[in-house]
Structure formats: structure tokens, C-alpha cells
Amino acid sequence: MKKSLLTVLILLSVVLTAPAAQTFDTVILLDTSESMFSYFDSSVDYLIQDIIKNQLKVGDTFHLLTFADTPEYEISRKIKGKKEIEEILSRILLLQPLGKYTDLITALGYLNTYTNKLSPDTFKKVIILTDGIHDPPPGSDSSIDKNNLQAKIKQITDNMKRQGWDVSLIRFPLAEDIGSTGTGSNGTKVSSEGVDLFKELSTELDTKIIEYDTNNNVLSHKATGEPQIIFPDDIGEVSYTFELPFTVKNFSGEPVQIRLKEIMWKNENILAKEAFIKVDADSEKTLEAEVSLPEKLSPGSYTIPLELVFSDDTRPYPRTGSISFILKESGIGGSMDWAKVLKILFYVVIILTAVLILIFIIKYLSGRSYAVTGSRVQREPEERKKIEYTKRKDDIRKGSNTTRSSHTDKAIVKHERKQYTHGPDEKAIEMIVQNQNRLVGMRNIHWFKDGSVYTVGGGQSDDYLIFVHPVAKNIAEIKMRGSRFVIKVLDQDFFKEIAAERE
């Protein structure tokens, strides 16, 4: 019976090891010699539940081989449903550990030959269950001669590695009545009836030996390297949306990535969004799954069964279990989900804050920055300066002088010098550019006194700004000499029709 449990564990292993979206062959080689007698008792109920609920998937094929004096084929089934699972279990229950000898070398050779004949398109998971003792019957070709054993083991393991099989070695303790033990010259364990070959098998296959553990759930995970899922205990009071923590244990020597796609309850997915976690080698981590219960559910105490659906690239298990919780009444009619409400309020506050900041920036830039006009930048009007400009224009306009300049393939720029009185010895000039918006406040109006100099150009550092046409910066200067105004050309390309200086 215990052997049945072990076999079931192996079944779990096989299924778990297969690659994503690929079917696999699980091949179990089980020792049925008398030395294994004390490990055959196990719970049939546990085996059935474990296999049906957690292990095999449709499309996988399970193979059982046994050995003692000689290797034997027991059963092979491609899984299509519950019927095949029951047939496998029925055959396992008929097994008895009655063999007098343990011809491990011949069994490994038989395993090689059998597995080589399977489809090359499936993933091969091989699990060997034995105490590791090679004790062949009289007359067997597999003598315990050191050199002969080493040569045969290397031949067998080289084929396994060449074929790319995933091989797990599960070793059971030696029976107390197996006889005295010692260590041979080649470092292998020797008993009065045989030689322990597991160490050499492990070395040649470059795989660790998995020692038998009475905790069969953990044993199956160790054998397959597939993650173990631990459902939480009583999680206490919850609202309609809450975080459900699952413990994920990784027994393999490599990191694993787990993606939970659905949590099914009563044919309904209650997982709010997919959950993902990466678990380092030989460690454990908590997978937080956001669960959203149906609003029609009334407040109260519950224990509900769940089925977890993962992505196809891994086979964590068990995938079924139950959780207990107390659903508390929250909100109007008991259906208000405060977690969602708070989340919505948080986003509303964020959006309102962003809008206020944007409004502030726009208002600030309306008086401080330039707005884009064509390929240049135009300063936005400022109300205060616009009023001041209008008042001055009406009260102190004295006259205007106009200077025109043109340039081939460039826009015509018109400069109007309008004088305004400001002080006893000061005058103002406004520069007006043809087709250019004049509503720029005091940007192009400057007060002059004797010796004052202001630059003209398309750069933001220029005192008089031309932005309606692409113009270089600092193309001219306007000076006041005594009571006269002089324009000095600095870039003749823009003023071909006038001299270097002009009053």
C-alpha cells in the first residue's frame, strides 16, 4: 500500500516536469524486492485524490515498470479522463514486494530500452524508486564486479543524458535485516547481499539523490522540482475585495515563474487580475492574489472550495483547496466595497491635482512665456502692459519714422519708430514689424536717452524682437545720439538697401 503512495507521488512528479504546452511520458521504475516491504503501506484515499486532482493532465502518458529478480512491464495509459487514472491505481494496488533479489543493473538497461521506443516528440520524465542496492540473482550477467558495474552504469547513464531525459533518483532507507554494511574499494556501500549503486548513478547523471521522506507531499515536489502551493488558513474578516495569500515553495535548483490566471469558484472566476511571482531556487514566497467576491454574496462565515488555474509553462500543485473567511457587511446594503471606493478616490485626487497644476502653469506661462507662431516664439499679451501701452500711445505719441528693408527670399520687415515722451530728456521708440502682432505689451517699446543702445533681431535676448519671420539675433542696433536716433546694421544680409548706419 505504501508503495502505491510512492507511485502516486511519482505520477505527480512526471506531470509537473513537462514543458509548457507539451505532453510528456512519465516512466516509473519501482523496486518490488523484499527490502522495500516496509514502505508499501499508504493511504489509498490520499493516492486517489492526489493523482486525480493534482497530477496527471489529459494527453500525458503514464508508464509503470517494476523490478526485483527481473524487470517487468506493469501498465501504460494515455490519460483521457478519470477512467485511465482508476486503471493505473487498480494495477498499483496489486503490487507486492516479494522479490528475493534486486537486479538494479538489468532493470536500468530494460528502462533504457523501453523509454527509447517511446515517441521522440514527448518530454520524458523518469523516476527511479529503490533503496539503491544491486543484489542480482545467481547466474545474472550483472555481477557485482567493480569494473563491470562501472562500465554498465556509464553506458546506461550516457544514453539517458544523450536523450535529454529528466531523471530523478528517490532512495529509500535500507531494511534493518539486509545484513551488515561496509564500504568497498570504489567508495560504494556494500552489504552482505549487494552493492549500493545510487552514489555512482547520481554522479554520472549529475543529479541529486532525493532521500525518502514520510511527508509524501514534499517528496513528490522534490522529485519533480515543481512548486508547491499552500492554501492559507482561516483568513478572518474580509470585504468583497481582498488579497488572498498563497505560499509558493520552489524545490528546484532554478528560479521559477508562476502566473496565476484564474481562481474558479462555482464556475466563476473570482480573480480580479492575473497574479505573477518569481520564486528563487530552493526558497518560498507569497503570491498575493486579488479576489473579488460576487456582490450577491451575503455577509457571514464561509468555507469555499477553489480551483487555481495557472499558465501552461509550469504545473504547480495542489491546484484545488478551500479557504475560510468571514465576509463583513460594508457600505449600503452590505455591497459597498471600500477598497474600490478608496482606490477610486485616490485616482480622483491625483487627477484633480494634475488639473490644478496644469491650470497654474498655463496662467503662469500666459504672462511669462512665448507662444509658438510659425517658426518663432511670440510673447503672450499681458493685460496690465496692454493697458499701459494703450494709455501711453494715446497720451504721448509724438510722431513716427519708418525704415524699410528687404532681402531676397526673405520676408519684408518694416520698422516704425514712434516717439513717446517719458521724461525731460527721454524718448520712446516702438518697433512695428509688418504682419507681426503688436499686442505684446511693452516688449517692442523702449525708452531712450542720450547714449542708449538697443538691439534688434529674432533672439529672445534682443531688445526689439522680430518673431513673425525667421530672423537671426542681433541684426541691428538702435542708438540715441543727442536728440537723434541712428540704426546701425550688424547683419547686412537683412538690410541690403540701406547703409551701415542710418538716421
The answer to whether 414 and 434 are in contact (CB under 8 A) is yes
Determine the Cα–Cα distance for residues 469 and 195; give it in Å rounded to an integer. Answer: 97
> What sign does the dihedral 112-118-124-126 (CA atoms) show?
negative
Cis peptide bond N-terminal to 138, omega within 30: no
Handedness of CA 158, 161, 165, 168 (dihedral sign): positive
Comparison of pLDDT for 449 and 107, the residue scoring more: 107
Whole-angstrom distance, CA of residue 502 vs CA of residue 489? 8
- Quick one: which H or E segment has residue 113? helix 104-116
User: Nearest Cα to 258, choosing from 317, 342, 345, 193?
Assistant: 317
pLDDT surpassing 50 at residue 26: yes
In tens, the pLDDT along 11-24 reads: 444 334 434 457 88
Nearest C-alpha neighbor of 128 from the set 30, 25, 212, 14: 30
**Distance in angstroms (rounded) separating the CA atoms of residues 339 and 330:** 10
**Band of residue 492 on the pLDDT scale cut at 50, 70, 90:** confident
pLDDT in tens, 373-387: 333 434 444 454 444
**Chain centroid to CA 304:** 29
pLDDT one-digit tens code per residue, 322-342: 999 999 876 544 445 556 677
- Band of pLDDT at residue 416, cut at 50, 70 and 90: very low
**Burial degree of 226 (CB within 10 A; 0-12, 13-18, 19+):** buried
**3-state class percentages of the chain: helix first, strand second, coil last, to nearest 5:** 30, 35, 35
Q: Once rounded to an integer, what is the mean pLDDT over residues 453-476? A: 87
The pLDDT score that the predictor gives to residue 132 is 87
Q: Residue 142: helix, strand or coil by DSSP?
A: coil
Contact 46, 216 (CB under 8 A): yes
Across all residues in the chain, what is the average pLDDT? Answer: 77
pLDDT at 390 over 60: no
- CA–CA dist 354, 77 (Å, integer): 63
Q: Residue 274: what residue type?
A: E
pTM: 0.57
H or E segment at 342? helix 338-368
- How large is the average pLDDT for residues 317-321? 88
Strand order in the sheet with 464-465: 464-465, 453-457, 476-481, 484-489, 501-502
C-alpha cell at 282: 530552493
pLDDT at 305 over 90: yes
The pLDDT of 84-105, averaged and rounded, is: 85
Q: CA 13, CA 15: separation in Å to the nearest integer?
A: 6
Amino acid 423: pLDDT:
67
Instruction: Determine contact, residues 454/423, Cβ cutoff 8 Å.
Output: no
pLDDT on residue 335: 47
Q: For the chain, give the percent of residues with pLDDT over 90.
A: 28
For 43, phi then psi, to 5°, come to -85, 120
Residue 183 pLDDT more than 60?
A: no
